[in-house]
Structure 1
Amino acid sequence: MIKVFITDDHYMVVEGIRSLLMNEHDIELIGSASTVASCKAFLAHQLPDVLLLDISLPDGNGIDLCKELKQKYPGLYILGLSTFNQASYISEMMDNGASGYVLKNATQKELTEAIRLAHIGKTYMAFEVAKTLHTAKLETNDKIILSRREKEVLNLIKNGFTNTEIAATLHLSVNTVDTYRKSLLTKLDAKNTADLVRLAFMYKLISLE
């Protein structure tokens, strides 16, 4: 049985989800909270398998709470729950450890699929949400302009070259290569080299060839 908990400050939303889940043989709704504080209080005593977490709450926001809860309870699967189909909200929620993002106009099939996928450690993304993210990525790609040298450095980074190896290959100083690497991290808003390569593939700045 998949134990589900809801944190949302709208009674109608909670009751609507309750009615959608009540006849599911493998899903049990074990409770709900309407604030960040009451959610934390419940989780301190009992952990669900999946938490449906609203983005906007009276005493905080679900994005920050998601990050905090994932750090404290790594085994807890969290699904963002919101009316906001905006790339910034979706991306932040996913970056903070959410297993998916469910819109409040989701159908019963979408909601139960999201819960079941989250429960087995997979990510759920509704078509509408995925489309929003895809569009945002295309727009971001249009805004990222790399110089010829940056593209050369990026491709060598993709192939696992170190700064020293890149410097030797391109006949540059190691300091110059380091400057290019830092510039690429900034332009793609990447946290580290692995993230840089992932984002570069996502934005189609590099290929597998």
Structure 2
Amino acid sequence: MQSHKINIVIVDDHPIVIEGLKIMLSDKPFFQISETFTNGSEVIKFVKTNEVDIVLLDISLPDISGIQLCEEIKKISPNTSVIMFSNRSERSIIMQCIQNGASGYLLKNVSIEELMECFQGALSGNIVFCNETKNIISKPSPQQLTTTPRLTKREKQILQFLAKGKTSNEIANELCLSSLTVDTHRKNLLNKFGAKNSAELVNMAIQQNMILE
């Protein structure tokens, strides 16, 4: 038996989605919806002052990306399970959410049975997905079907710093290099991965398990 009710916060900019979830969860005695929000800024305030077990979080919000908001919530409340709840089915987005600390990713056509299973799984410390999401992430991306680029030791170092959001000047200071040298290595990395920019580069490296935790 549950010793206490599981506090759930729902964040979605569509009120009809929130109302639908309220109905779905109304007969689940061990789960209670503590609060609902249609934007990100109010969620941050709430999590700072309230105990929240699960945040069910949409990606598309009017004031902040749900992916970024997930990271902010986890900084404030590491023990809160953030489960993404979206219509977006791109594999790269799913993996980025998990990289930002999400405990799972569900598509909005999920059944109530799957939703309950995922809640329980996340509360047990697992990364959870609905069946459709599992199918998406089990299929390799085009980048994964290509040969993993061979990197020099310096390129590997710079890749790790780029993954942390460091600028060329910051990386140069860390490695005692000139920013011009760092930029040269960064351009080489972009070419090796076939990436258009640093964000795409990092995402591709994550998918190929080349970014250290």
Give the TM-score taking structure 1 as reference length.
0.70
**Residue 47 (structure 2) aligns with:** 43
Tell me the number of residue pairs that the alignment of Structure 1 and Structure 2 aligns. Answer: 167
Indicate the RMSD between aligned Cα atoms, in angstroms: 2.7
Letter in 1 for 2:209: L
Per-residue CA deviations over 1:16-63 (Å, capped at 9, x if unaligned) read 111111111221111101101111122222121000011010111110
**Residue 153 (structure 2) aligns with:** 178
Partner of residue 7 from structure 2, selected from 3, 17, 40: 3
SS in 2 for 1:128: helix
Q: What percent of counterpart residues are identical?
A: 28
SS in 2 for 1:28: strand
Letter in 1 for 2:74: K
Contact kept? 1:37, 1:59, Cα under 8 Å? yes
SS in 1 for 2:85: strand
Contact kept? 1:190, 1:199, Cα under 8 Å? no
Per-residue CA deviations over 1:116-158 (Å, capped at 9, x if unaligned) read 11112111111211221222x2522222355xxx5xxx9xxxx
Q: Say whether residues 1:18 and 2:22 are aligned partners.
A: yes
Aligned equivalents of 2:90 and 2:108: distance in 1?
A: 13
Contact kept? 2:47, 2:73, Cα under 8 Å? no
SS in 2 for 1:57: coil
Structure 2: unaligned runs, 5 residues or longer: 161-188, 194-200
Q: 1:184 to 1:40 in 2, by over 3 A?
A: closer
SS in 2 for 1:78: strand
Q: 1:30 to 1:183 in 2, by over 3 A?
A: closer
Q: Say whether residues 1:143 and 2:153 are aligned partners.
A: no
Letter in 2 for 1:178: K
Following superposition, the deviation at residue 179 of structure 1 comes to 5.5
Letter in 2 for 1:144: T
Q: Say whether residues 1:73 and 2:88 are aligned partners.
A: no
**Residue 169 (structure 2) aligns with:** none
Q: 1:12 to 1:180 in 2, by over 3 A?
A: closer
After superposing on structure 2, the runs of 4+ consecutive aligned residues of structure 1 that deviate more than 3 Å are 179-191
Structure 1: unaligned runs, 5 residues or longer: 155-176, 201-209
- Structure exhibiting the larger radius of gyration computed from Cα positions: 1
Q: 1:41 to 1:139 in 2, by over 3 A?
A: same
